[in-house]
Amino acid sequence: MTLKAFPSCGVMPLGIYPLVDRAAKLRPLFENGITTAQLRIKDLVGTALSDEVRQAVTLARIYHARLFINDAWREAIVCKAYGVHLGQEDCEALDDTDWRTLRASGLRLGISTHTQNEMTFALSVKPSYMAIGPVFETRSKQLDYETTGLPRLSEWVAGLANQGERIPVVAIGGIDATNLTEVVKSGVQGIAMIGGVQVSATDASIDVGKVRQLNELFQTAWKENQ
């Protein structure tokens, strides 16, 4: 049986794609040109998690932004989010009934990949986009995989295109203003960031000046690469 692909993210590139851990951090991002973001919460469960997801989805609707919910796919369905993002372990934890529920929900789906084998699995699921990384060393999380690097990232993105796969690719890991342009030249449609848009690792606020700079860099590089 041929699986139905998850819905498309549309024709606009995903662009600078921040990952935040609280709904309140989304407003300054959306107010400063971000059109795609992810709510990634690892320290809440139950009602507290559901409340954050609901607040985040409401904000995204106000700003007409594409919001993906990390891992908490049941909450995402209940709140009618735009999409959900799953890691490899998250995918492995789903049974056939879960996958049918996800496909029937209408949610977009993003999947993390780090190796060619994981990319092959992701393609079999037919997600809305595929994240590849870490491209470079990152301070946001401990690395469980070796870095991809630009040459391999470019090779993998080109390989997908040569196979006729039109799935958008999001690059993640150690990307900032100094290397963003070269990453976009690899053919990716989005740049996921955690630390890159925050004031510091210990400050909960968003550096809106940096957000605008990164957004402008992406848009310029994207246009030049078309």
Q: What is the pLDDT of residues 177-209, one digit of tens each?
A: 999 999 999 999 999 998 788 776 667 788 899
Which residues span the domain enclosing 163?
15-225
**Residue 143: pLDDT over 80:** no
pLDDT digits (tens, 9 = 90+) for 10-52: 999 999 999 999 999 999 999 999 999 999 999 999 999 999 9
pTM for the predicted model, two decimal places:
0.95
On whether residue 9 sits in a domain, the answer given is: no
On whether residue 3 sits in a domain, the answer given is: no
Res. 221 pLDDT band, cuts 50 70 90: very high
Contact 119, 155 (CB under 8 A): no
**Residue 141: pLDDT over 80:** no
Structural domain count of the chain: 1
Residue type, 167: I
Contact 75, 60 (CB under 8 A): no
On whether residue 129 sits in a domain, the answer given is: yes
CA within 13 Å, CB half, 162: 6
**Residue 140: pLDDT over 90:** no
Res. 85 pLDDT band, cuts 50 70 90: very high
Coil/strand/helix, residue 199: strand
pLDDT for res 202 = 66
Coil/strand/helix, residue 137: coil
On whether residue 187 sits in a domain, the answer given is: yes
Contact 59, 89 (CB under 8 A): no
Q: What is the mean pLDDT of residues 97-112?
A: 97
Higher pLDDT, 57 or 142: 57
CATH, residue 69: 3.20.20.70
